[in-house]
């Protein structure tokens, strides 16, 4: 009798033990080993990397560069509703290495770079059975374009930075604790990636469903901008000329069309961060950050404000159509129908009429590089290469001015004055497009400090043409050193 029970008992044990397994097979998550096996997967990995332009919350191209960088210029300041003391510190130029917005600039950029590095490594390893060669090549070049864009930002913000082009595969100190590379080395990497990315399809070669991806024109335009920043005038001139002549871009007829939601990825948009509100998706939050806070029903945050003492608003001619697109001086309340005037002009470029009261969901794209800027790059480089403003440079400038109904420039200045004119034009054309700090910083410390002091930001100092390397990184990585200008600040 008893052995019968024992048999039953043992059988029960053996059956039950077969019933669950220790191997982990997540049902709701993908594991890296299951990925990069098909063309669709590779494409979606690169798609995910575009999203790293602004992943969530205050993210790079969704307000972080405004908050963490542009605040430190003569045109912007922390608005009345900007309560983060770190942001106010940047606006008042009292920020230091523990500033949390700066940490985010660093962190998010490297996160995006790592995503590209993973794409490049894993897609390179895919076979022809898994992916068509032309798609494979295109995805690799898209990843390289994005990597170059982020390194270009990093090197301009922080100077020397660690150069990482292979994904980290293990937690060893050798892989984790990377020391800085010189600006020169970083620029070489950026140039190499962009030179390769010039083999991407042109924007008209993509079908409608792929609009918004990096293109040959985007790679060339960004490369021209890189050369310009490096003051490689000849290369910058030639590359921007190539874009102007060969890539099929042009200016919209009106400035308003640049920010119209029905003109997205149009003839002037070379590369933009793509936004779409109210579709379970993140909108362009610059719209809400600049929208008025005290008009019933508008529900703005008013955290990004115009720095009045910089006199940007006054710099526009009254006929200049850009002024009314860029700024608002009052709005009608959707609640009570009354018009409310504002105490001072507020930014309005991304204000989306289709989501009044909910500007977080603005569907307006944020231009990263557009044709008007390429014209100005060309004008600037051309000017640096000639003793006096050349007709080509003047013509490029005037295309931008003409479109905006601004007075055409007739010439007569020397090269130095013309340079100032171009910078002034960039300032007006590209307001609220994350350009001002870069423009001031690339002119050098004296220029930056002078401009800010003129605008009554008296704490501006030469070190401010870079940002400090985040203290958190210095704490963790023994091989990292602070930017020399920022030691002891």
Q: Pick out residues in 358-377 that bind another protein (CB under 8 A).
A: 358, 360
Residue number with CB closer to another protein (352 or 429): 352
Cβ-based burial of 281 (10 A; exposed 0-12, middle 13-18, buried ≥19): exposed
Site membership for another protein, residue 338 (CB under 8 A):
no
Among 202, 250, 357, 415, binds another protein (CB under 8 A): 357
Euclidean distance between CA atoms 116 and 119, whole angstroms: 5
Pairing mode, if any, of strands 180-181 and 339-347?
unpaired
The residues facing 327 across adjacent strands are 347
Among 208, 245, 353, 416, binds another protein (CB under 8 A): 208
| CB atoms closer than 10 angstroms to residue 10 | 10
Residue number with CB closer to another protein (41 or 130): 41
Euclidean distance between CA atoms 2 and 331, whole angstroms: 90
Among 232, 419, 472, 486, binds another protein (CB under 8 A): 472
Site membership for another protein, residue 18 (CB under 8 A):
yes
The residues facing 271 across adjacent strands are 369
Distance of CA 295 to the CA centre of its chain: 30
3-state SS track over 80-139:
CCCCCHHHHHHHCCCCCCCCHHHHHHHHHHHHHHHHHHHHHHHHHCCCCCCCCHHHHHHH
316-330 per-residue burial string, b: 16 or more CB within 10 A, e: under 16: beeebbbbebbbbee
Q: What is the smallest separation between the CB atom of 257 and another protein, expressed in angstroms?
A: 16
Site membership for another protein, residue 174 (CB under 8 A):
no
Site membership for another protein, residue 476 (CB under 8 A):
yes
Site membership for another protein, residue 276 (CB under 8 A):
yes
Euclidean distance between CA atoms 247 and 205, whole angstroms: 11
Euclidean distance between CA atoms 477 and 475, whole angstroms: 6
Euclidean distance between CA atoms 57 and 47, whole angstroms: 19
Q: What is the smallest separation between the CB atom of 299 and another protein, expressed in angstroms?
A: 5
Helical H runs in 167-320? 173-176, 183-197, 216-229, 233-246, 286-290, 312-315
Site membership for another protein, residue 353 (CB under 8 A):
no
Q: Dihedrals φ, ψ of 366, to 5°?
A: -105, 115
Take residue 444 and report the two structure tokens written for it: 């050098």
Euclidean distance between CA atoms 432 and 76, whole angstroms: 9
Site membership for another protein, residue 125 (CB under 8 A):
no
Site membership for another protein, residue 80 (CB under 8 A):
yes
Residue number with CB closer to another protein (299 or 405): 299
Q: What is the smallest separation between the CB atom of 18 and another protein, expressed in angstroms?
A: 7
Residue number with CB closer to another protein (412 or 478): 478
- Tell me which DSSP letter residue 317 carries: -
Site membership for another protein, residue 330 (CB under 8 A):
no
Residue number with CB closer to another protein (376 or 480): 480
Residue number with CB closer to another protein (25 or 339): 25
Cβ-based burial of 232 (10 A; exposed 0-12, middle 13-18, buried ≥19): middle
Euclidean distance between CA atoms 125 and 221, whole angstroms: 29
Span interacting with another protein, options 210-218, 307-315, 412-420, 421-429, rule CB under 8 A: 210-218
The interface with another protein within residues 230-269 (CB under 8 A) comprises 264-265
The interface with another protein within residues 433-462 (CB under 8 A) comprises 459
Site membership for another protein, residue 480 (CB under 8 A):
yes
Site membership for another protein, residue 290 (CB under 8 A):
no
Closest-CA residue to 164 (of 486, 482, 479, 483): 479
With beta carbons less than 8 A apart as the criterion, state whether 146 and 119 touch: no
Euclidean distance between CA atoms 172 and 134, whole angstroms: 36
Q: What is the smallest separation between the CB atom of 164 and another protein, expressed in angstroms?
A: 6
Site membership for another protein, residue 210 (CB under 8 A):
yes
The interface with another protein within residues 212-231 (CB under 8 A) comprises 212-213
Span interacting with another protein, options 8-16, 129-137, 248-256, 426-434, rule CB under 8 A: 8-16
The interface with another protein within residues 95-124 (CB under 8 A) comprises 96-98, 103, 106-107, 110-111, 113-115, 117-118
Q: What is the smallest separation between the CB atom of 204 and another protein, expressed in angstroms?
A: 14
For residue 181, the surrounding DSSP H or E stretch is: strand 180-181
Site membership for another protein, residue 141 (CB under 8 A):
no
Number of residues that bind another protein (CB under 8 A): 107
Span interacting with another protein, options 64-72, 78-86, 320-328, 431-439, rule CB under 8 A: 78-86
Site membership for another protein, residue 202 (CB under 8 A):
no
Site membership for another protein, residue 27 (CB under 8 A):
yes
Site membership for another protein, residue 94 (CB under 8 A):
yes
Residue number with CB closer to another protein (30 or 410): 30
Residue number with CB closer to another protein (68 or 212): 212
- Tell me which DSSP letter residue 146 carries: H
| CB atoms closer than 10 angstroms to residue 422 | 25
Residue number with CB closer to another protein (245 or 337): 337
């Amino acid at each position: 009798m008893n052995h019968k029970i024992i048999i039953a008992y043992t059988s029960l044990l053996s059956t039950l033990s077969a019933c669950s397994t220790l191997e982990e097979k997540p049902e709701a998550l993908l594991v890296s080993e299951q990925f990069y096996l098909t063309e669709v997967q590779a494409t979606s990995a690169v798609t995910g990397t575009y999203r790293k332009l602004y992943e969530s919350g205050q993210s790079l191209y969704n307000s972080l560069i405004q908050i963490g960088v542009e605040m430190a210029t003569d045109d912007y300041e922390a608005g009345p509703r900007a309560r983060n003391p770190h942001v106010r510190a940047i606006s008042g130029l009292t920020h230091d290495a523990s500033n949390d917005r700066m940490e985010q600039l660093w962190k998010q950029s490297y996160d995006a770079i790592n995503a590209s590095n993973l794409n490049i490594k894993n897609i390179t390893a895919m076979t022809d059975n898994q992916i068509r060669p032309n798609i494979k090549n295109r995805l690799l070049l898209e990843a390289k374009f994005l990597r170059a864009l982020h390194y270009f930002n990093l090197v301009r913000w922080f100077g020397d930075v660690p150069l990482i082009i292979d994904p980290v595969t293990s937690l060893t100190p050798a892989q984790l604790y990377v020391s800085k590379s010189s600006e020169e080395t970083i620029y070489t990497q950026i140039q190499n990636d962009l030179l390769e990315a010039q083999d991407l399809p042109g924007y008209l070669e993509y079908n409608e469903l792929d609009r918004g991806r990096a293109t040959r024109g985007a790679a060339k335009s960004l490369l021209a901008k890189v050369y310009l920043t490096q003051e490689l005038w000849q290369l910058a001139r030639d590359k921007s000329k190539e874009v102007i002549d060969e890539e099929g871009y042009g200016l919209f007829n009106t400035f308003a069309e640049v920010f119209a939601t029905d003109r997205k990825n149009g003839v002037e948009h070379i590369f933009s961060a793509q936004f779409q509100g109210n579709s379970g998706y993140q909108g362009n939050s610059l719209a809400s950050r600049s929208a008025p806070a005290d008009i019933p029903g508008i529900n703005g945050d008013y955290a990004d404000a115009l720095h009045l003492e910089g006199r940007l608003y006054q710099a526009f001619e009254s006929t200049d159509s850009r002024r009314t697109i860029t700024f608002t001086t009052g709005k009608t309340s959707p609640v009570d129908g009354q018009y409310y005037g504002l105490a001072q002009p507020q930014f309005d470029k991304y204000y989306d009429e289709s989501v009044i009261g909910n500007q977080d969901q603005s569907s307006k794209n944020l231009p990263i590089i557009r044709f008007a800027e390429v014209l100005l790059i060309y004008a600037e480089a051309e000017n640096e290469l000639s003793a006096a403003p050349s007709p080509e440079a003047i013509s490029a400038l005037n295309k931008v001015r003409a479109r905006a109904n601004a007075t055409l420039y007739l010439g007569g200045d020397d090269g130095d004055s013309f340079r100032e004119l171009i910078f002034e034009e960039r300032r007006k054309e590209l307001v609220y497009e994350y350009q001002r700090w870069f423009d001031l910083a690339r002119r050098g410390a004296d220029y930056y400090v002078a401009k800010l002091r003129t605008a009554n930001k008296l704490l501006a100092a030469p070190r401010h043409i870079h940002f400090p390397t985040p203290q958190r990184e210095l704490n963790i990585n023994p091989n990292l050193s602070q930017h020399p200008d920022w030691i002891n600040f």
